[in-house]
Amino acid sequence: MEPGGPLLIEGPVEFVAEDGTVIRSDRPVVALCTCRRSRRFPFCDTSHRRRGKRSQGRA
């Protein structure tokens, strides 16, 4: 698992959100957001990649 990245689980899956909404995915592998930056939460939309990115220039 990539630090700050998604948690990969086998699908299909079904979640019940805090408000009682049922969210379902039929994909064989589902990426769950652990950083809470995803616009598709609880699913990862790769927004975690933009967090804390440092310059990787060479000296």
Residues in contact with ligand FES, counted by CB under 6 A, come to a total of 12
Region label for 58, one of left (φ > 0), alpha (ψ between -120 and 50) or beta (otherwise):
beta
Cβ 2 to ligand FES shortest distance, Å: 8
Asked if 25 is part of the footprint of ligand FES (rule: CB under 6 A), the reply reads: no
Give the span between the Cα atoms of 55 and 44, in whole angstroms: 24
Structural contact between residues 6 and 32, judged by C-beta atoms closer than 8 angstroms: yes
Asked if 38 is part of the footprint of ligand FES (rule: CB under 6 A), the reply reads: yes
Position among 19, 47, 57, 58 found at the interface with ligand FES (CB under 6 A): 47
